């Protein structure tokens, strides 16, 4: 009964919120212990979030149930530096739930499930006094993308210190766009009725994550995980916005990690992550593809097979974390991560909708173990402000729009309660 209530909570909460994630549109970590160490978790096994981090870790995680909630506060704004005005996005507070469960079937086999919000994109710019917006449309300007992932996991120790794991990835995402009607009026969408202001549309998707974990010495653990591209159904209500008639998949990504128990009290961890945004056209196609649309090739218009996207590049992410076990009741964590910026100056205009430009994250966290053995974990993250500027895309449409700048910083504070069973 407890698990049934938890699943119901996750399903409702995961679809009732959205957020703007930190490494492009991926979160900096999954599970509060991971988040307290800036996401350095590929070679650690302290919770039941292996479905999101490394499925092989579940073979060492033991019997446990982890339930967490993150309060996320992204500050997004854009400026037209030529005209000298700035617009800040509304909707600055988001609640992101996550859940992990693991059960050791025997000493070598673990079965579990991880439920988490992968990330998302959100912007909500208020209209100008005449009810127009910066994209020359009507009303508020922005997008809202929500992604909920369910990852059932199986992990197996093929020797006492080495394991492999697999997690089929089942996803559901919802998307809404507002205020983009100008592009339909200009005739640069393949389906103007499926471009904007159609409410939330939903799509199911699937993929797989596999992983390995090995304790190569008594103090050193290594890990590796690979997640395929998640293939999602098209957003039919936004077939005139995203490339390939509304296609919006989750990109392939992989990570490597090492953890070193330097002393009985101190653990150090490092992860490298690669996110291949280039494998998803609606994310990676440059906004300059719109030029070919203007010259008469409809495949380069919004919604076309070569339609403009956000122009995001593949990124590398480096994560460093430290854990200090003060005593049996208190464990403290800190971390720092740095990622590439996926957005170039030539794609600033479209990314007013999705200003995923933050690169540097500082994290702190702790776990308090109760007398019962249950745990209370908290994690704080600050993503330092970063910006990108460049010429407006509207210049190519014959308007003298000058230069634009997008900017963002973020904070989050999360809490997790864990039952050891």
Question: Do residues 363 and 380 lie in contact, with contact meaning Cβ atoms separated by under 8 Å?
Answer: yes
Residue-wise pLDDT for 351-374, tens only, equals 999 999 999 999 999 999 999 999
Q: How many Cβ atoms from other residues are within 10 Å of residue 296's Cβ?
A: 8
**What are the C-alpha distances in Å from 64 to residues 78, 170, 299?**
44, 22, 51
The total of other beta-carbon atoms located within 10 Å of residue 164's CB is: 17
Query: Which CA distances in Å does 336 have to 25, 40, 321?
Result: 18, 9, 7
Q: What is the pTM of this model?
A: 0.93
182 close to 133: Cβ distance less than 8 angstroms:
no
How much is the pLDDT for 18? 53
Query: From 3.90.1150.10, 3.20.20.80, 2.40.160.60, 3.40.50.970, which CATH number describes the 2-420 domain?
Result: 2.40.160.60
Confidence class for position 400, pLDDT limits 50, 70, 90 = confident
CA distance 355 to 311: 12
Question: Three-class SS of residue 284?
Answer: helix
User: How far apart (Å, rounded) are the C-alpha atoms in residues 138 and 131?
Assistant: 6
Residue 55 has pLDDT above 70, yes or no: yes
For residue 21, name the pLDDT band (cuts at 50, 70, 90): low
3-class secondary structure per residue, 336-389:
EEEECCCCCHHHCCHHHCCCCCCCEEEEEEEEEECCCCCEEEEEEEEEEEEEEE
pLDDT at residue 224, as a whole number: 98
Strands 330-339 and 315-325 turn out to be: antiparallel
Instruction: Quote the pLDDT of residue 1.
Output: 41
Q: Please state the rounded mean pLDDT for residues 376-380.
A: 98
* Cα distance between residue 47 and residue 110, in whole Å: 13
């Amino acid at each position: 009964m407890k698990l049934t209530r938890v699943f119901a909570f996750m399903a409702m909460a995961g679809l009732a919120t959205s957020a703007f994630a930190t490494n492009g549109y991926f979160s900096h970590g999954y599970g509060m212990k991971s988040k307290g160490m800036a996401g350095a978790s590929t070679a650690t096994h302290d919770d039941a979030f292996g479905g999101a981090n490394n499925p092989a870790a579940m073979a060492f995680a033991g019997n446990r149930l982890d339930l967490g909630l993150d309060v996320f506060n992204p500050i997004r704004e854009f400026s037209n530096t030529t005209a000298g005005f700035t617009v800040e996005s509304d909707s600055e507070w988001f609640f992101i739930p996550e859940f992990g469960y693991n059960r050791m079937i025997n000493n070598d086999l673990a079965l579990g499930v991880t439920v988490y919000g992968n990330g998302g994109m959100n912007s909500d710019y208020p209209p100008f006094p005449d009810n127009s917006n910066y994209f020359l449309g009507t009303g508020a300007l922005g997008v809202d993308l929500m992604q909920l992932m369910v990852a059932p996991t199986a992990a197996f120790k093929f020797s006492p210190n080495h394991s492999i794991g697999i997690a089929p990835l089942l996803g559901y995402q919802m998307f809404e766009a507002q205020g983009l009607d100008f592009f339909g009026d200009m005739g640069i969408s393949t389906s103007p009725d499926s471009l904007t202001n159609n409410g939330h549309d939903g799509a199911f998707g699937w993929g797989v994550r596999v992983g390995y974990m090995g304790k190569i010495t008594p103090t050193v653990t290594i890990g590796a995980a690979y997640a395929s591209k998640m293939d999602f159904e098209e957003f039919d209500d936004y077939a005139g916005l995203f490339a390939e008639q509304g296609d919006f998949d989750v990109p392939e990504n992989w990570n490597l990690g090492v953890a070193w128990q330097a002393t009985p009290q101190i653990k150090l961890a490092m992860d490298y992550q690669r996110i291949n945004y280039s494998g998803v056209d609606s994310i990676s196609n440059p906004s300059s593809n719109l030029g070919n649309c203007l010259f008469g090739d409809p495949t380069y218009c919004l919604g076309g097979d070569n339609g403009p996207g956000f122009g995001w590049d593949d990124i590398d992410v480096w994560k460093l974390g430290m854990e200090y076990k003060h005593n049996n009741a208190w464990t403290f964590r800190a971390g720092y991560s740095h990622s590439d910026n996926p957005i170039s100056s030539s794609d600033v205009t479209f990314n007013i909708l999705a200003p995923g430009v933050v690169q540097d994250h500082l994290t702190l966290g702790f776990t308090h173990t109760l007398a019962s053995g249950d745990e209370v974990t908290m994690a704080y993250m600050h993503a330092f402000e970063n910006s990108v500027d460049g010429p407006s895309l509207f210049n190519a449409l014959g308007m003298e729009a000058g230069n634009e700048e997008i900017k963002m910083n973020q904070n989050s504070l999360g809490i997790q309660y864990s039952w050891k069973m």
